[in-house]
């Protein structure tokens, strides 16, 4: 994993503590730490390598990293700590990292609980909630107490799980090392990562090798590994430094496909497959598909042939969740799902004019490198002050710059847009004149998450009925392993989207993946389009589109349902309605 994530996390925690202070100069400092954290989190190169090669001056080449933050990063590289953070912790000795993951608690409210009740951590908070001490504090009340209790329960249930966007790169790094060693001829992910599940509890990797013992020895010594939990000749379980376990199995080549099918799961999907095999007087396991005499009836090298022999079409791993996919496969109704290669644009991106890390020129270069033909530049609008939201005047000046940029682009287009705040009453926070001039308006909720379900649904629908937004951004507002989505009647929202020609976003940010695959399946019968967007705040975030595609595939969506799979002229006609 390197140290980018822990460095980014500590910079964000510094910002959390600083944000308790209301002074304007401190607010600027908070934004600086947030921006630096975002830039570092998105880096492909490890900051320790940058420092080793270029020193502190090299760190200051990172967007948002000035002299002060550079010194803090050097502190961490040398000692594993940041002096600034250690000093702030003495002032507020609070577990901000976990407490701010709880619904209803931001840094300022956490600080109030510390000052009023001496709460420092989740255990202290739990005791205070059980004693009903929270509801007596001004600004909280019984409703807040209930929300906090639910948040604590959610935090506990998420223990031992990590984001797909953290686990998959780690698994890929391990696989690259295995292949590079020369001992492994083939290696693939299995389990929930292969099914592109939004969070995972462990990592499963299957490999083929003529030297399994050497592979196991190599695996146990990898830099990603914290300790070996269980060692064997063909299977080893390790605990990774990122906090979850990883299983590596070496499989015989003749059984690799069968093992891949078996260990991909999910459990209920596999149970149904084995039941079908039994009805056909066959036996299915991780070694192959066998008849009663023990003869392998099809090659176990290819999982696709196993499905065909059982009388069904092969299906993508993302569908294997026992949600009707087996019946669909038996009846020949497995349609081609959208792929990353189908995307030709991205409708939701940010630049440094609001809370992004890069200029629009840099975002264009990165988008082209990602194989895209167009992006919509959609910075935050004025109500979201924490994200340096732009008012009408700033947007107009920025769009003049975009127009000039487009004149010099060949084969690529930047659409002028904004991520427009949906206010508490359902109004949009830009004037109608500016809204009408936007090529693409993404309407999003960023405040008052604790509204009741009916009120929130009416709020969102009112925004959609304005005729001024093209896409409903991250529709449920959830933060995976953090904030639960706000109450929303997804069917009423989908009906309003259909009636008003509004697309529903599948936000590809790994901590959102919003809307979820289960929501997509719920509303897939409505005549609506979906937009798979990166919500990129950095040039490296276009790589997150694969997670949004994975979510769309888990929701059984084909290319025909994806707005940004349309070539630009067709897209403009839809946006122009």
CATH classification at residue 347: 3.20.20.140
Collapsed DSSP state (helix, strand, coil) of residue 229: strand
Helices 360-369, 392-407: crossing angle, 10 deg rounding: 50
Q: What is the pLDDT of residue 497?
A: 98
Q: What is the CATH number of the domain that holds 301?
A: 3.30.210.10
User: 51 — phi, psi (to 5°)?
Assistant: -65, -40
> Which of the four pLDDT bands, split at 50, 70 and 90, describes residue 482?
confident
Four-CA torsion 46, 369, 33, 166, nearest 10 degrees? -60
Q: For residues 154 and 478, is the Cβ–Cβ distance under 8 A?
A: no
In a domain, 220, yes or no: yes
**Which token pair is 10?**
């500590």
Rounded Cα gap, residues 84 and 59, in angstroms: 17
Q: What mean pLDDT comes out for the span 14-35?
A: 78
What does the pLDDT look like over 437-472, one tens digit per residue?
999 999 999 999 989 999 999 999 999 999 999 999
Rounded Cα gap, residues 337 and 355, in angstroms: 33
Rounded Cα gap, residues 461 and 553, in angstroms: 26
Rounded Cα gap, residues 438 and 371, in angstroms: 24
Domain end marker among 44, 75, 91: 91
What does the pLDDT look like over 74-92, one tens digit per residue?
999 999 899 999 998 888 8
Number of separate domains in the chain: 5
> Which of the four pLDDT bands, split at 50, 70 and 90, describes residue 103?
confident
pLDDT beyond 60 at 152: yes
The verdict on 413 and 527 lying in the same domain is yes
Domain end marker among 38, 70, 91: 91
| DSSP calls for 499-518 | HHTPEEEEE--TTT-BS-HH
pLDDT beyond 70 at 25: no
Comparing 134-148, 289-303, 334-348, the range with the smallest average pLDDT is 289-303
The verdict on 459 and 482 lying in the same domain is yes
In a domain, 335, yes or no: no
In a domain, 415, yes or no: yes
Instruction: For residue 377, give the nearest of 366, 39, 479, 386 by alpha carbon.
Output: 366
DSSP 293: T
pLDDT beyond 80 at 24: no
**Which token pair is 82?**
């940041």
Q: For residues 183 and 209, is the Cβ–Cβ distance under 8 A?
A: yes
Rounded Cα gap, residues 313 and 331, in angstroms: 8
The verdict on 418 and 533 lying in the same domain is yes
User: 436 — phi, psi (to 5°)?
Assistant: -65, -25
In a domain, 19, yes or no: yes
Q: What is the pLDDT of residue 141?
A: 84
Q: What is the pLDDT of residue 23?
A: 59
Q: What is the CATH number of the domain that holds 131?
A: 1.10.150.20
> Which of the four pLDDT bands, split at 50, 70 and 90, describes residue 577?
low
Among 37-46, 238-247, 353-362, 551-560, the range with the most confident prediction by mean pLDDT is 551-560
User: Between vectors from CA 560 to CA 544 and to CA 165, what angle results, nearest 5°?
Assistant: 15
Q: For residues 421 and 384, is the Cβ–Cβ distance under 8 A?
A: yes
The verdict on 496 and 542 lying in the same domain is yes
Rounded Cα gap, residues 380 and 535, in angstroms: 11
Q: What is the pLDDT of residue 275?
A: 96
What does the pLDDT look like over 275-310, one tens digit per residue?
999 999 999 999 999 988 878 777 778 899 999 999
pTM of the full structure: 0.89
Comparing 133-142, 228-237, 467-476, the range with the smallest average pLDDT is 133-142
Bridge partner residues of 376 (DSSP): 415
Q: What is the pLDDT of residue 30?
A: 85
The verdict on 403 and 464 lying in the same domain is yes
pLDDT beyond 80 at 557: yes
Q: What is the pLDDT of residue 380?
A: 97
Q: What is the CATH number of the domain that holds 198?
A: 3.30.460.10
The verdict on 202 and 321 lying in the same domain is no
User: 354 — phi, psi (to 5°)?
Assistant: -115, -105
Spatial CB neighbours of 60, under 8 Å, sequence gap ≥ 6: 66, 67, 70
The verdict on 5 and 50 lying in the same domain is yes
- CA dist list (Å): 307 to 66, 251, 330, 333: 57, 20, 9, 14
What does the pLDDT look like over 27-43, one tens digit per residue?
778 888 988 888 888 78
In a domain, 7, yes or no: yes
Rounded Cα gap, residues 278 and 376, in angstroms: 53
The verdict on 123 and 238 lying in the same domain is no
In a domain, 16, yes or no: yes
In a domain, 46, yes or no: yes
Q: What mean pLDDT comes out for the span 406-431?
A: 97
Q: Is 443 exposed, middle or buried (0-12, 13-18, 19+ CB in 10 A)?
A: buried
The verdict on 353 and 388 lying in the same domain is yes
- The residue ranking higher by pLDDT, 29 or 212, is 212
Q: What is the pLDDT of residue 417?
A: 97
Reported as type and span, the H/E element at residue 250 is strand 245-250
Provide the residue range defining the domain that includes 236: 162-250
Q: What is the pLDDT of residue 257?
A: 94
Q: For residues 81 and 55, is the Cβ–Cβ distance under 8 A?
A: no
Report the chain's mean pLDDT, rounded to a whole number.
93
The verdict on 288 and 210 lying in the same domain is no
Q: What is the pLDDT of residue 302?
A: 87
Collapsed DSSP state (helix, strand, coil) of residue 84: helix
The verdict on 145 and 182 lying in the same domain is no
Q: What is the pLDDT of residue 22?
A: 60
> Which of the four pLDDT bands, split at 50, 70 and 90, describes residue 414?
very high
Q: What is the pLDDT of residue 155?
A: 85
Q: What is the pLDDT of residue 100?
A: 86
| DSSP calls for 461-472 | HHHHHTT--SEE
> Which of the four pLDDT bands, split at 50, 70 and 90, describes residue 180?
very high
In a domain, 289, yes or no: yes
The verdict on 363 and 298 lying in the same domain is no
Domain end marker among 233, 250, 267: 250
Q: Is 486 exposed, middle or buried (0-12, 13-18, 19+ CB in 10 A)?
A: buried
pLDDT beyond 60 at 576: yes
């Amino acid at each position: 994993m390197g140290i980018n994530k822990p460095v980014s996390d500590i910079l964000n925690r510094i910002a959390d503590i600083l944000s308790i202070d209301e002074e304007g100069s401190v607010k600027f400092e908070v934004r600086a730490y947030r921006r630096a954290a975002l830039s570092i989190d998105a880096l492909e190169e490890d900051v320790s390598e940058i420092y080793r090669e270029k020193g502190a001056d090299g760190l200051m080449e990172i967007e948002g990293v000035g002299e002060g933050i550079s010194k803090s990063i050097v502190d961490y590289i040398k000692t594993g700590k940041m002096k600034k953070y250690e000093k702030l912790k003495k002032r507020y000795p609070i577990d901000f990292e976990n407490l701010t993951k709880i619904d209803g608690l931001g840094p300022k409210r956490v600080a109030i609980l510390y000052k009023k009740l001496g709460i420092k951590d989740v255990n202290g908070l739990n005791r205070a909630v059980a004693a009903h001490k929270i509801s007596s504090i001004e600004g909280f009340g019984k409703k807040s107490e209930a929300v906090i209790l639910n948040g604590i329960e959610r935090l506990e249930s998420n223990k031992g799980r990590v984001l797909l966007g953290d686990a998959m790169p780690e698994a890929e790094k391990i696989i690259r090392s295995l292949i590079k060693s020369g001992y492994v001829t083939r290696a693939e992910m299995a389990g929930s990562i292969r099914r592109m599940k939004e969070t995972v509890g462990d990592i499963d990797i299957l490999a083929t090798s003529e030297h399994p013992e050497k592979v196991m020895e190599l695996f146990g010594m990898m830099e990603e590994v914290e300790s070996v939990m269980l060692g064997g000749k063909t299977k080893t379980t390790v605990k990774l430094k990122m906090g979850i376990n990883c299983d590596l199995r070496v499989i015989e080549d003749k059984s690799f496909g069968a093992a891949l099918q078996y260990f991909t799961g999910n459990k209920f999907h596999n149970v149904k497959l084995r039941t079908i095999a039994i009805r056909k007087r066959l036996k299915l396991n991780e070694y192959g598909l066998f008849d009663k005499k023990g003869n392998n009836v099809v090659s176990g090298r290819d999982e696709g042939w196993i499905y065909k022999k059982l009388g069904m079409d092969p299906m993508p791993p993302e569908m294997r969740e026992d949600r009707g996919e087996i019946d669909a496969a038996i009846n020949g109704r497995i349609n081609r799902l959208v792929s990353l290669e189908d995307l030709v644009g991205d409708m939701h991106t940010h630049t440094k004019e609001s809370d992004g890390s890069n200029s629009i020129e840099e975002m264009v270069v990165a988008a082209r490198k990602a194989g895209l033909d167009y992006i919509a530049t959609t910075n935050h609008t004025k109500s979201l002050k924490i994200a340096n939201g732009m008012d009408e005047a700033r947007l107009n000046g920025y769009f003049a710059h975009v127009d000039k940029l487009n004149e010099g682009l060949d084969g690529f287009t930047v659409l002028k847009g904004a991520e427009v705040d949906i206010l508490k009453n359902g109004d949009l926070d830009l004037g109608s004149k500016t809204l009408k001039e936007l090529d693409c308006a993404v309407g999003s909720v960023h405040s008052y998450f604790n509204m009741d379900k009916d009120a929130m649904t009416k709020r969102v629908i009112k925004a959609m009925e304005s005729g001024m937004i093209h896409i409903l951004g991250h529709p449920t507002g959830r933060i995976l392993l953090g904030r639960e989505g706000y109450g929303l009647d997804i069917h009423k929202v989908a009906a309003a989207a259909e009636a008003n020609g509004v697309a529903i976003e599948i936000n590809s940010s790994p901590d959102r993946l919003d809307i979820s695959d289960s929501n997509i399946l719920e509303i897939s019968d409505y005549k609506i389009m979906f937009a798979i967007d990166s919500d990129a705040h950095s040039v490296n975030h276009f790589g997150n589109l694969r997670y949004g595609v994975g979510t769309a595939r888990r929701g059984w969506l084909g290319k025909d349902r994806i707005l940004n799979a349309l070539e630009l002229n067709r897209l403009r006609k839809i946006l122009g309605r």
